[in-house]
Amino acid sequence: MEINKEFIIGLLHFVLPLIYIIYLFFAPVKWDPYMFIWFNILTLHWILFNNECIISYIHKKLENPNYKMGEDVKVKDMINVFTKIMSEKMAGMLVDIINYGTFIAIFIRFFIFKSIKPIVMVYMTLILFGLYNYFVRTNLIDKYPLFKAFISIIILYNLYLIYKYNIKK
């Protein structure tokens, strides 16, 4: 198996969700506000990078120097890592399971420990993240550009609330 830059980037993209899962089981609750900040910034970065993760963008740019951000928002770098050992369809399903499973696992932690105050902020973020992903996957995101602005404002407000109620005690 040839290891190249694209493979390493895909592996990195796979390892980051594993860090979330390790965090879920081993990190102290006092770190939850910082993880929640990271999660909100991650979502905001997808919005700012035209519905694309910066890691995937770098991978696609290495494959095709003419690639324009947001042309294809599929997570091909992780899929390429898994196609070394399974079919492309199975790899795509595994990537979806990793992405959504990690997201759900993090929020289960926030619900169990109720470590983020006010808890309504967690519900709001969960709903908006789900809607955002639905809009991206169904290409509705381009039809309703104000939706991105709305989510961005909510995320910024979340960051303020996290600071006010969870960090600046």
- pLDDT at position 156 is 92
- pLDDT at position 8 is 84
Alpha helices in the chain (DSSP H): 5-26, 32-48, 54-63, 76-82, 88-113, 120-137, 145-162
Q: Cα(65)–Cα(60) distance, rounded to whole angstroms?
A: 8
Query: How many domains would you assign to the chain?
Result: 1
**pTM score:** 0.81
139-152: b (≥16 Cβ within 10 Å) or e: eebeeeeebbeebe
Residue spans of the chain under pLDDT 50: 1
- pLDDT at position 2 is 56
State the residue range of the domain holding 37.
5-167
- pLDDT at position 3 is 63
162, 113 contact by CB (below 8 A): no
| pLDDT tens per residue across span 107-123 | 788 888 888 888 888 88
Residue 31 CB contacts under 8 Å (≥ 6 apart), including other chains: 23
| pLDDT tens per residue across span 119-148 | 888 888 878 887 888 888 788 888 888 888
